[in-house]
Structure 1
Amino acid sequence: MTNSPSKGQVMMLVLLVLFSPLAIDIYLPALPNIAGDLNVASTVAQDTITWFMFSMGLGQLFAGPLADKFGRKTIAVAGVVIYALSAWLAYLAQSIEWLLLARLLQGFGACSTSVAAFASVRDLFGPSRSGKMISYLNGAICFIPALAPILGSWLTIHFGWRSNFSLMAIFAVVVGLLVVVSMKESHTPSSKPQKVFNPKRYWSVLKQPTFIFHSTMCLLAMAAILAYVTSAPVILMEQQGLSMTQFTMWFSINAVVNIIACMVAPKVMDKIGTHKCLIIGSLLLIVAGSAMYMLSDLHVAIAFMFPVFISSVGCSLILGSGAGQALAPFGDRAGTAAALLGLFQMSGSGVVVSWVQKLSYMPQVIVAIQMLFVIPVFLILLTKTYRRWQLQAA
């Protein structure tokens, strides 16, 4: 382990974690254009996000073990190459099927760069300092939703929706060259034969009720976020007639709310505990979903965005507390548990949102339903069964 990682190494880690949010947020303003150009419904164009999320979550089951077997740099390079090629395929797409396939591949690429980055953090900073560095990386991720749609709007207006994917490809090529030239391997792969996929190791995590419960909470919170992200362009631009610039302004305001909530959430957890944070976060989602439903007939931006602001705070509390509680019992199996948690959050939320969006309701109601899915787990939080799970995991 390197005692004092250089600024260059830290910057490399930041660049590697940006692939995923960039692939989602930069082209959001272009979703109506994609639907129109490829002659598909808005809900089908939204699947380009949920398919990406699905493959990114599924890929974590393999990217983690592969990073242990072949090294962080190798997995990072492979991820960048897959990301660049799939972004270029998306740029060339002449049908929605072609675009969906490209996005599915791109999710695997983004997953690999993310896993390589976070695994490198553990190698370089050790158990005592890695938490702080991960907070910095998550902060960098949170800034992308505030900035990427601004650039995406400008690109779409001046060069068309395909230019967003060409920028992703260019970004991947530049970062890929930097990785090849500058990134140092932080992990010495074992010379012993290793199974890339060990079902028994995953089952030892999945059989724990506390993991299933808290991972499900994280899934539902991520699904609420994803439902907003995929529906916002349809609601704000298609239904309400906002320009790309106005859409970007509202999206950026919510990104700022997210950044503030992410910064405040750890302090709230320290003060009141994770259990109360989960209860408060769930209540905020229920309030947000109820407000979204009641205001669904008002076709003004604030009627849609105000409930979203509330849900953003609730999701921040749930994701922070829920992830910590899901991973807490596992010690030496933390990597396996983290991979499964990623599968729940990314793939699980993608599947749920894609399914709910197929229902024949207006988009605001779809988002409200997604937020209100948290009601059953909120009720479980109040039971003795939940307390028993916690005692068993301690």
Structure 2
Amino acid sequence: MIRFLLCSFALVLLYPTAIDLYLVGLPQIASDLGATESQLHIAFSVYLAGMATTMFFAGKLSDSIGRKPVAMTGATIFIFASLLGGQADSSSTFLIARFAQGIGAGSCYVVAFAILRDTLDDQRRAKVLSMLNGITCIVPVIAPVVGHLIMLKFPWPSLFTTMAVMGVVVCILSTFVLKESNANRRSNESAAETGSSHPSETTLAKRAAEPFLGRFFISRVIITSIGVTTILTYVNVSPMLVMEVMGFDRGGYSTIMALTALVSMITSFSAPFLLSIFRQRSLMLLSQGLFATAATVLVASGVSTLDQIANLIGFGLICAGFSIGFGVTMSQALSPFSLRAGMASSILGIAQVCASAFYIWLMGLLGVSALNMLIIILALGGVISAALILLVALPSMPTSCKANEEITSTS
């Protein structure tokens, strides 16, 4: 079990590291490539586009050929894309490298969640996903610091060399430590040993019993997409709120982001303990309650021209709400799928990325202020999510799924 957790955590960490590690070198990258910083900021969208376009195929492949080969391929693509980014001599080459990094990171991201679905029951998976969320909250704080320390001695390409090294570590773990966890892949191997070239009737029946259009799965896709949209909206508008409206300098902004990341970490690591006491549904509703409270605080603060203390409390409530509910909801979303966990994971990832990008783009197009953009998603998203939690309950797991998990846990 330890090997699955170690590999899953490593696979997930490629995604946030590739976002945050290089940002400290953006001015120097722009200077060397003859581009403006604003032109290179599109690299974030390009990276997410690479993730979104590959997630569907990565999920489908991981269900058919196995988690391990997809993880190895994704890590390999990430390595070469990182090396290309470090050697880029034009902005177009740099953006191509970022897109390819997104392909590699997206493949690894999908596989990580599928592995956790394969190997953990509902309760343990919810706890692990909450802890995983806490670890990923560390990256936005640590990565810029690591990047700064690297650039004290080396030029900006060394940042991408560091990413490539991370990719090598993940590739080694995927090759030599990770065991295949996909029950569908193991069934195919058993069929091959017995001379059968087609999936068994039992396997086909299980696949048919795992639809993606079920109202429970759709409800959890919506809830997790709203949650990710909320936290990414906060990250996107926080520089404007903190520095332009509240009057903090860059150092103050960094401190505030570090403090909110600390809140996320503490809440995420507390979630496993809370799950031992409270039901999953209770924590999910608590998450939405924290979002609603944050919206109320920010509305009241906005009336009084953004009181600093009130805003900091609101920011902390947003991070706590996301951290306490996201892991549980993701675990529930994956629970109905024993043979199609890869596809389920990819659908979740695509929906989360696309919903976030669309909401931020639409609000910007409509000219909505940074504060109102955040309040709208907190209030409206919170109402929608709470209604779905109350109206669509977690279905009982089919007997076939339980049997599959017992086989997985003993293999």
User: TM-score, normalization: structure 1?
Assistant: 0.75
Moved more, 309-318 or 273-282: 273-282
Work out whether 1:251 is the aligned partner of 2:226. Answer: no
CA distance in 2, matches of 1:17, 1:170: 15
Aligned to 1:372: 376
CA 1:203–1:295: 2 relative to 1, 3 Å: farther
What CA deviation, in whole Å up to 9, does each residue of 1:80-103 have, x standing for no partner?
Answer: 111112222332344544433322
CA 1:236–1:335: 2 relative to 1, 3 Å: same
What CA deviation, in whole Å up to 9, does each residue of 1:44-90 have, x standing for no partner?
Answer: 54432233234324433222221232222211111111111222233
Identity %: 28
Aligned to 1:341: 348
Instruction: Give the AA of the match of 1:50.
Output: S
**3-state SS of paired residue (2:212):** helix
Aligned to 2:409: none
CA distance in 2, matches of 1:158, 1:235: 33
CA distance in 2, matches of 1:333, 1:174: 27
Work out whether 1:180 is the aligned partner of 2:180. Answer: no
**3-state SS of paired residue (1:164):** helix
CA distance in 1, matches of 2:311, 2:28: 21
**3-state SS of paired residue (1:206):** coil
Instruction: Give the AA of the match of 2:165.
Output: I
**3-state SS of paired residue (1:254):** helix
Aligned to 2:136: 141
CA distance in 2, matches of 1:325, 1:332: 15
Work out whether 1:263 is the aligned partner of 2:272. Answer: no
Match of 2:320 among 309, 313, 317: 313
Are the aligned partners of 1:63 and 1:115 in contact in 2 as well (CA < 8 Å)? yes
| CA positional deviation for 1:312 | 0.9
CA 1:236–1:34: 2 relative to 1, 3 Å: farther
CA distance in 1, matches of 2:381, 2:128: 31
Aligned to 1:390: 392
Match of 1:282 among 266, 286, 291: 291
Aligned to 2:282: 273
**Structure with larger Rg:** 2
Are the aligned partners of 1:91 and 1:166 in contact in 2 as well (CA < 8 Å)? yes
1:1-394 equivalent positions in 2, closer than 5 A: 5=1, 10-31=5-26, 39-40=35-36, 42=38, 45-123=40-118, 130-156=125-151, 158-187=153-182, 188-189=185-186, 190=188, 192=197, 204-206=211-213, 208=215, 210-232=216-238, 242-243=249-250, 247-265=253-271, 267=274, 270=278, 273-274=282-283, 276-287=285-296, 289-290=298-299, 293=302, 306-320=313-327, 322-324=329-331, 326-327=333-334, 335-357=342-364, 365-366=369-370, 368-380=372-384, 387=390, 389-390=391-392
What CA deviation, in whole Å up to 9, does each residue of 1:309-364 have, x standing for no partner?
Answer: 22112222442454355456667655543332222122321343345456656xxx
CA distance in 2, matches of 1:202, 1:291: 48
Are the aligned partners of 1:56 and 1:110 in contact in 2 as well (CA < 8 Å)? yes
> What is the root-mean-square deviation of aligned Cα atoms in Å?
4.2
User: TM-score, normalization: structure 2?
Assistant: 0.72
| CA positional deviation for 1:369 | 0.1
CA 1:93–1:378: 2 relative to 1, 3 Å: same
CA distance in 1, matches of 2:338, 2:68: 25
| CA positional deviation for 1:374 | 3.8
Unaligned runs of 5+ in 2: 200-206, 397-411
Paired residues, number: 374
CA distance in 2, matches of 1:348, 1:39: 29
Are the aligned partners of 1:47 and 1:354 in contact in 2 as well (CA < 8 Å)? no
Are the aligned partners of 1:14 and 1:137 in contact in 2 as well (CA < 8 Å)? yes
Aligned to 2:407: none
What CA deviation, in whole Å up to 9, does each residue of 1:215-260 have, x standing for no partner?
Answer: 23322321232233345567767996845x6554433222111111
Instruction: Give the AA of the match of 2:232.
Output: L
| CA positional deviation for 1:154 | 2.6
